[in-house]
C-alpha cells in the first residue's frame, strides 16, 4: 500500500486512560476491557503520514507473539520492512497498522476490526500457520521513549503451539528463528519486544 495514501486507525491520546500511555507501559488486560475502553475513547482513520507526526494520537497495532506450548522458545526475526527506523533490530512481534479495509461492514465494532487486522497480518506475514492454534489477547504495551513508540500502542496477542515447524515465514520476516526464550535478551531487540517479553513472562506458562 502507498504509505502516503494509507489510512490507519488512531485514538486520541487524551481519551485513553492515563495508565495506558505512560513513558513505559506494560499492562496485562482482558480483551473485552481493552475493546470496550477503545470503543468509548472513539477511533478514527487518519492518513498515516499525518499520524506518524502527531504525538496526540496513538495508532493501535496488533502485535502477535509466537511461542512453543511450554513457553521455552519464542519466534524472532530481524526487521527489514517499511519502517526504516526499526531496521536491523530484532522483533518478537508480528503485526502492523489497522486499515479501513479491516472493516467488513460500516458498523463493525472495534473488537471485530482489530481481530480482522490481526488475522490479516498473520496471513500476510506467514506462508503457513496452524489455524487451530488458539490466539489469546494478553494486554497492551506502549512507550514514549522512541519516535516510533510515541505514536503507537500495541495490542499484544500470543499464540502458543505444539508444532513450531508448522509456521513458515514470508519474506518480510527476515532471519525468522525460534530462540530459547531465556536468551532473547541477548539479541538487539526493539523496545516493544522488550516490553512484550516482560508482559508474556508475567503469565502463567499454561495461561
Examine the pLDDT at 206 and tell me if it is beyond 90.
Answer: no
pLDDT at res. 55? 95
Q: 149: closest CA among 157, 160, 140, 158?
A: 140
Examine the pLDDT at 82 and tell me if it is beyond 60.
Answer: no
As a whole number, the mean pLDDT across the chain is 92
Residue pair 13/41 in contact (Cβ under 8 Å)? The answer is no
196-to-6, 62, 72, 158, 201 alpha-carbon distances in Å? 26, 12, 15, 10, 8
Cα 74 from Cα 205, distance rounded (Å): 13
- Our CA angle for 28, 30, 35, nearest 5°, is 115
Domains of the chain: 7-201 (3.90.79.10)
Cα 35 from Cα 116, distance rounded (Å): 13
Give the pLDDT band (50/70/90) at residue 104. Answer: confident
- Our CA angle for 152, 156, 162, nearest 5°, is 150
CA dihedral sign of residues 74, 207, 126, 89: negative
pLDDT at res. 87? 53
User: What number of other Cβ atoms are within 10 A of residue 5's Cβ?
Assistant: 9
Cα 205 from Cα 9, distance rounded (Å): 32
CA atoms within a 13 Å half-sphere pointing along the CA-CB vector of 160: 15
Give the pLDDT band (50/70/90) at residue 105. Answer: confident
Q: Which residue has the higher pLDDT, 141 or 79?
A: 141
Task: List, for residues 19-67, the tens digit of each pLDDT value.
Answer: 999 999 999 999 999 999 999 999 999 999 999 999 999 999 999 999 9
How large a percentage of the chain has pLDDT more than 90? 85
User: What number of other Cβ atoms are within 10 A of residue 104's Cβ?
Assistant: 10
pLDDT at res. 13? 97
Task: List, for residues 120-132, the tens digit of each pLDDT value.
Answer: 999 999 999 999 9
Phi first, then psi, for residue 122 (nearest 5°) are -60, -45
Give the pLDDT band (50/70/90) at residue 81. Answer: low
Amino acid at each position: 500500500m502507498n504509505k502516503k495514501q494509507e489510512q490507519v486507525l488512531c485514538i486520541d491520546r487524551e481519551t485513553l486512560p492515563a495508565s495506558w500511555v505512560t513513558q513505559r507501559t506494560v499492562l496485562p488486560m482482558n480483551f473485552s476491557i481493552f475493546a470496550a475502553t477503545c470503543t468509548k475513547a472513539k477511533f478514527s482513520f487518519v492518513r498515516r503520514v499525518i499520524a506518524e507526526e502527531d504525538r496526540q494520537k496513538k495508532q493501535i497495532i496488533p502485535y502477535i507473539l509466537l511461542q512453543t506450548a511450554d513457553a521455552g522458545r519464542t519466534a524472532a526475526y530481524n526487521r527489514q520492512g517499511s519502517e526504516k527506523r526499526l531496521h536491523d533490530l530484532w522483533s518478537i512481534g508480528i503485526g502492523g497498522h489497522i486499515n479501513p479495509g479491516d472493516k467488513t461492514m460500516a458498523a463493525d465494532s472495534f473488537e471485530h476490526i482489530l481481530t480482522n487486522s490481526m488475522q490479516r497480518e498473520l496471513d500476510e506475514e506467514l506462508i503457513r500457520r496452524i489455524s487451530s492454534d488458539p490466539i489469546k489477547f494478553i494486554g497492551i504495551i506502549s512507550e514514549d521513549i522512541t519516535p516510533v513508540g510515541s505514536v503507537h500502542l500495541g495490542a499484544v496477542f500470543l499464540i502458543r503451539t505444539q508444532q513450531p515447524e508448522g509456521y513458515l515465514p514470508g519474506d518480510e520476516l527476515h532471519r525468522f528463528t525460534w530462540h530459547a526464550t531465556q536468551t532473547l535478551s541477548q539479541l538487539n531487540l526493539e523496545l516493544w519486544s522488550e516490553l512484550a517479553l516482560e508482559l508474556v513472562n508475567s503469565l502463567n506458562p499454561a495461561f
